[in-house]
Amino acid sequence: MPSYRREEPENADWNDWPGQERREYGASSNLRRPRREEVMRPASNNAARVLVIDVGGTYVKVATGRHEERKIPSGPTMTPDKMVRDVKRITKDWKYDRISIGYPGPVIHGRPLREPHNLGYGWVGFNFRKAFGCPVKVINDAAMQALGSYQGGRMLFLGLGTGLGAAMIVSGILEPMELAHLPYKHGKTYEDYLGLRGLKRLGKKNWRRHVTDVVERLKDAVEVGYVVLGGGNAKLLKKLPPDTRLGDNRNAFVGGRRLWERKTKTRFDEP
């Protein structure tokens, strides 16, 4: 699985991050959900020029460091060509010179590895840089939101949306994780239970119970200090498991901007 490392001093920890980011996201000992104005605040003028695209199974959402979120309907008919056309249309009054794309599937070398389960066809091999006419970085969508939610230490991120996204960050190293289609119960996967189909099939009460069960299982398995639950359906939870906090979908835009704040490195980067 790819991992992304910020360029930082050896043995650096959360306290070595710039003051702006420490103020926005808090120290690891003070886990909290960022206020809206903190989430939307650009970290720098460079970050303000980044167009972040969060591709989901229900909506494609876009924002920059200077503009509020806009969105377009997504779904089985959403191909990459259509996404590019629609994004250009709704951002024609915005200025940006680079793009981050959160993709709902595994990404290697900055390219989608497999076609998404909930969208149209044609994403693998698509030339996003040529289509948009500017530099583009593609990252797994859960990993992008995890990057924007990170508060130091060992963190597991789970995105409860149309599907189930997952990522882990340990000491600033980001590991996208493909947990959604692993077996969970009765021949069904984690996504079958925690994704939108599971929510509709189980009802809110039983769905919440399985969310708690999965969080506790995974937290123990990967030995993290805390879990962040993001995605559109996380707000349906009434009670959170221990050492768990709610994320914010807008953190995907923070993560997308952070991709351009520093150089990133992955095990699968080409020389």
DSSP-derived secondary structure for 115-141? --SSS-S--TT--HHHHHTS-EEEEEH
25 vs 226, higher pLDDT: 226
User: Looking at residue 65, what is its pLDDT?
Assistant: 83
Residue 72 CA to residue 207 CA, distance in Å, equals: 27
pLDDT of residue 176: 87
95 by Cβ neighbours in 10 Å (0-12 / 13-18 / 19+) ranks as exposed
Answer whether residue 43 shows pLDDT above 90.
Answer: no
Tell me if 1 sits within 8 A of 175, measured CB to CB.
yes
pLDDT in tens, 148-196: 999 999 999 999 988 899 999 998 889 888 888 899 999 999 999 999 9
Residue 244 to residue 237: CA distance in whole angstroms: 12
Q: Is the dihedral of CA 173, 48, 25, 214 positive or negative?
A: negative
Half-sphere exposure of 10 (CA within 13 A, CB side): 0
Right CATH number for 4-143+251-261 from 3.40.630.30, 3.30.70.260, 3.30.420.40, 3.20.20.10? 3.30.420.40
Q: To 5 degrees, how large is the angle CA 1–CA 170–CA 253?
A: 80
pTM of the model: 0.76
- By three-state DSSP, how is residue 61 classified? strand
pLDDT for position 57:
86
- Is residue 164 within 8 Å of residue 191, measured between CB atoms? yes
* Strands in 6-153 per DSSP E: 50-55, 59-63, 70-73, 98-103, 107-108, 111-112, 136-140
Structure tokens given for 266: 């992955």
What does the pLDDT read at residue 3?
A: 42
Per-residue pLDDT of 133-154, as tens digits, reads 999 999 999 999 999 999 999 9
Q: What are phi and psi of 140, to 5 degrees?
A: -55, 140
**Can you tell me the mean pLDDT for 88-104?**
96
Q: Where are the domains of the chain?
A: 4-143+251-261, 152-246
Task: Give, as one character, the DSSP assignment of residue 96.
Answer: -
In whole angstroms, give the CA distance from residue 114 to residue 207.
28
CATH architecture, range 152-246: 2-Layer Sandwich (3.30)
- From 33-37, 152-156, 259-263, the region with the lowest mean pLDDT: 33-37
C-alpha angle 182/157/202, rounded to 5°?
Answer: 55
* Neighbouring residues of 118: CB distance < 8 A, sequence distance ≥ 6: 57, 74, 75, 76, 104, 162, 163
Q: What is the mean pLDDT of residues 253-269?
A: 68
pLDDT at 27 over 90: no
Q: 144 with 252: CB under 8 angstroms?
A: yes
pLDDT value of residue 46 = 61
